[in-house]
Every structure is written in C-alpha cells, then in structure tokens.
Chain A
Amino acid sequence: MTRTGRMLLGAAGVAAAAGPWWLGDGPMRFLSELFLMLAMAQMWNLLAGYAGLVSMGQQVFVGLGAYCLFATSIALNVAPFWVLPVAPLFCAGVAAVVALFLFRLREAYFAIGTWVFSEVVSLLVSKSERLGGERGMGLPTAKLIDPRWLEPLTFWLSAAIAAGAIAGTYALLRSRVGLGLMTVRDNDLAAASIGVDVWRCRFVAFVLAAAGCGLAGAVSFAATLYAAPSLAFDPNWVVVMMFAVLIGGIGTLEGPIVGVVIYFALRELVTVVFNLSAGWYLVGLGLAAIGVMLFEPAGLWPLVRKRLGGDWLSVQRQPPPADTAAGATGDRTATAAYDRTGVRSP
C-alpha cells in the first residue's frame, strides 16, 4: 500500500472514530446501515467471487446472529454489546455443521439448498414460543446501555465490522488459503489436481462468511432493538448482497463497496430527493441490474479502475521489480492472467 493510501486510511479511521461528534443522528444511523450492508456484501463476495459458492441463503446467518445475540443477552441479563462475540461464533458453528451436508450439493443445487435451509430455520424460529414466534422478540437488556451511547456504539461497531470485513478478506485472499480459493473458483478440477484441498478452502470461506454475516446481523438488529423471523430471515438480505456484489464487480474487493454505495445512493435519491415510494427505488435497482448485465457484465468497478489506474485493493501478487529479477515482464503477464480482480490484460 502506498503512503498516500495509508494516510487516507488513517484519516478515514479518525473521521469514523470522531463520527458521533460531527455527524447528526440521521446520517450516523444511515452510515451504520451502510457499513453493515457493506460487510455482508463483502462476505457474499468472498463466497461467490472467490470460493465459487453461490449462496442464496446467506440471510439465515444474519437472522441467526441476531437471534443468538438477543437470546444470550436476555438469558445472561447483560448489555447486548458485551456478548456480541457469541453471534459470529454461533453462526460459524452452524455453518461448519451444515457445510458437511450442503457441500455435497453443487452450483445451482447448492444455491437452492442454502435457500431451503434458511427457510427451514426461519419456519422453526417462527414456531418457537421461546423466541417469540412470528411476533418476534424485543431486546429489554438494551436499557443496560446508556441510551445516549447506543447510537454511537452501533456506529463504531458497524464501521469496525466493515473495515474488518474488508481487511480480513484482503488478508485471507493474500494467504495460502486465498490463493487456493481462487484456483478453486477458476477450475476446481484443475485445483484439486495440483494439490489444493478444494473442500477445505471452501469450508474456510463458508464458515468465515457465516461469521461475518452473523456479526453484522446481530449489530443491525441490536440497533433496532427488535427481531422477527420475517425481518431477520428476509431473503432481501441476500438480494441486496447479491446486487451490490454483481453491480460493483464480483471477485474484486472494491466491487462490493461501489455496489453498496450505488444501492444506498439510489435508495436515497428515489425516496428522499424524488419522494417516491420505496417500490420505485427497487424498480430502479432491478433496471440497474439488467443494464449492468447487458452492457458491463464484469460490474462497474473494473470500468472505473481502468480510468483511474493503480492497484487499489487488488490481491494480485506482484513480481519483484525488473532490475532484481530478469524476465519480470513475462512473470507479470502471467500473474495478470491469473487475476480476475484486475482488468484482464489483452
């Protein structure tokens, strides 16, 4: 990362930390929502863009995270944010168990399998009286937090989760497992034949993505103090993740950021500026999806990146500079061809 990059990142960190003092309540709530959505989109990107796992049931972890936090917080009678770690841990555990079964399914079957699993969990929660059934449950332990700090805490947590999701995905993809993941995505047969443990790579990605979605879901519902099955396990969670990733550019770390920003910009534009009902921004969203697929199927980020130049959050491995390694140009094209994050060199 360049020095300017580091300075920008530091400035963003300071701005976020000081957020509660210079942002109003409305913008702060808005940004919290945006950050959590960004984290979830990044998780879906990790699955679909790097592990080749298209999950249409990722909302199950959003809901499970929320319910797990609510139930634990109420049972122990402690403030919800103190027991926050249980949400990602529980979701990771559930993901590790269901992966044993769901990984038997491939591609479209896997997508439907995860979706059905999510519906089953949603129906079971609706039937559970202890979890409030269809009416849902509130979060009475939230009163253990000073109400003045609830919004700022949510904001900081959301910002930290979004930053963590991006940094964590970056670190993962730069690791051995990440390299394995990308080979699996490109061709799982070839990956297996060069000794990559396909199952293990996918398993790691699935469990981490579940934990990330669970954490984001827990914070999201803790902020509203209420969770119901129809909201927590709403397929729209995965719809927005999918939209953000595919519009922004799947298989790039910047894509979900671009996609989430577009999603929220579109929503604010239609509902606030034009003052139309929420249905119309969804119509706009659908049209945007159609347009991107027809004219720019790789998503918008590769297009922007071509204009801007630079490496940004590319996980591409760079060869050593030309003066230290002979024939570096040859290596460079070789790595570029491997990297779907970059503009595929002609």
Chain B
Amino acid sequence: MRDLLKYGFMFIVLSLVQVLIFNQVHLGGSINPFIYILFVLLLPINTPRYILLLTGFILGLVIDIFSNSLGMHAAATVFIAYLRPFVIRIISNREEDRNNYPGLKQNSFSWFLAYALIMVFLHHLVFFFLEFFTFTHFMSTLLKVILSSLFSVFIIIVSQYLIFRE
C-alpha cells in the first residue's frame, strides 16, 4: 500500500515535471530530455512484468496526450519496459546478490550509470526515429538521440542525488 502511494506519487510528479518543464527545454535545437522514464527505471526488480508493461504504456500515453504525440512515447516506453529485465540481467554480475531496488542509492554508481544509459538510449532511439519517421535525416536524428540521452541521464543522476534518496 505504501509502495502504491509512493510510486503513484512518483508517476504524477515525473509526468508533470516532464510536460511542464522538460518539454520546453531545447538546448541548441537538438537536445530534448525525457526524464519521465525514470519511473520505469525505478520500479522494484520483482515487479510483475505485466505491471511493468502496463504502467509503461499508460505513462507513455499520458505524456503523449499532453504533448500531442499520440503513440510515440507509449511505443518507446513499452519497448524499454519490456527490455528492462534483460538489461538488468546483462549488466549485473551473476554472483552478486541483486538489490530489489534499482536506484542509485541501493547500487553502485557504475551499475546505475550503465543501467540508465542503456535504458535511456533505447527509449530515445525508438522515440526520435518514430518522430522523424524517415531515415533521411539519419545522422542528425542519431546525433539528437545521443545528445538528448546524455542530457537525460545527467538529469536522472542529479535527481537521484537531490530527491530520490529517502
């Protein structure tokens, strides 16, 4: 119950912060950070996969409705929600006893950095290529993906130090 409240609150706050603040950020014309996926990143490891997928879809859809980009955020977020268990398995040592919470506080910095980088990059890749739809601007879109991913990861890491410490 406490978890439900906590993650529900996080869902709302991250959605609002994304649509009200970070949707307005466009540094140098090519950097648009999407930090709301921090929600998908931080769900406990033992979260059932259908909950992971469904909350990912709903979160993406909420962002889509606010930004009139119907389906794009939903597709990208469901994609990383599905891949999350595989990403965690790949970057974790088998012997290590994994913590149930994939936050920065509960894990090493390098683990969280790798985790955030891979997840954010995959999400941004799907999103930006869906948005531009064609591969004609392949290089410029890829540059956008990379720069925005780096910026998003930076914000996510900073936010971990500032807010999600508990």
- Does A pair with B? no
Contact surface of A with B, Cβ cutoff 8 Å: none
Contact surface of B with A, Cβ cutoff 8 Å: none
